[in-house]
Amino acid sequence: MRALTDMFAAGSQATSYLLGGLVLIAAGLTVVWSLQIDDVASWAFDVLGAGFVGLLTLLVLATTYCLVQLRRTRGDGDVADFWFLTGVQLASGVATLALTYTLFGISLGIGSLAGQALTPDTVQGIIRELTASFSLAFMTTVIGLPLSAALRTILVVAHGKQRLQQPVSRLIERGMNS
């Protein structure tokens, strides 16, 4: 029962961090560009798509969960390493997702060209479809790659800080057992 309670507490804390981050981003967008939250959400779902937004949210939440668990280990070497490595893999999954959607958007754009005759009357419509597909393609990369790098950086710094805070005797013991 204790393990379930701890898991729920870590999940709740990770969700709080994610929602808090979203509130800060929304506040920043409102201050800098005078955008309303419904405008941002509408843009995200129109340009990026519900699939990308949903998968990205799950990966960021899972990475944040690993960060919370990493901080809860209090330097317990193998357990801390497990949560660190799992978090890094999930953060790398954000980059993979972004690049996959980039290729998907480019494929959609090229696919739309293949089935249409290119005439002076159809050029404008074709370019509109191509632009929408490429917008999906490149915005997923613009959002996903920096986010992935930021998540990995946070994990590496947190793990490194934890390692520095370990007692010297534990570090010596680990070095002798390696």
pTM for this entry: 0.83
Tell me the pLDDT tens digit for each residue of 31-89.
Answer: 888 888 888 888 888 888 899 999 999 999 999 999 999 999 876 778 999 999 999 99
User: What sign results for the dihedral spanned by CA atoms 23, 42, 147, 62?
Assistant: positive
